[in-house]
């Protein structure tokens, strides 16, 4: 079900904003939500990633995609991006 919703959002974004394949779509989701969802598909390798890992990943993406604070990604900062608020 969530995959269907995500696919529909992507299709609508592509139509509305003339999305190019090199653009970035960031589904901004609370790290605790991501941490809690990891068990649903039952992918054993994700059990290694604790809550701290998800919070760190979220922080890095926020710095790069929202605040443009990631100097190592200067070229990437010029790439158009779409931010979708996740659930």
Place of tokens 């701290």: 52
Domains and CATH numbers, the chain: 2-85 (3.40.50.300)
Rounded CA separation 5/46 (Å): 23
Specify the pLDDT at position 1: 58
Specify the pLDDT at position 29: 93
pTM: 0.63
Specify the pLDDT at position 82: 75
**Residue ranges of the chain with per-residue pLDDT less than 70:** 1-2, 6, 13-14, 17-21, 41, 70-77
Q: What's phi and psi for 84, nearest 5 deg?
A: -115, 125
Q: Residues with Cβ < 8 Å from 36, sequence gap 6 or more? A: none
């Amino acid at each position: 079900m969530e995959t269907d919703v995500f696919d529909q959002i992507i299709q609508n974004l592509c139509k509305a904003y003339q999305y190019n394949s090199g653009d970035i779509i960031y589904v901004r989701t609370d790290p605790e939500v991501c941490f809690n969802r990891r068990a649903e598909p039952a992918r054993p390798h994700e059990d290694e990633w604790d809550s701290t890992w998800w919070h760190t990943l979220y922080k890095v993406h926020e710095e790069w995609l929202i605040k443009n604070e990631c100097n190592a990604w200067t070229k990437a900062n010029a790439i158009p991006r779409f931010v979708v608020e996740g659930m």
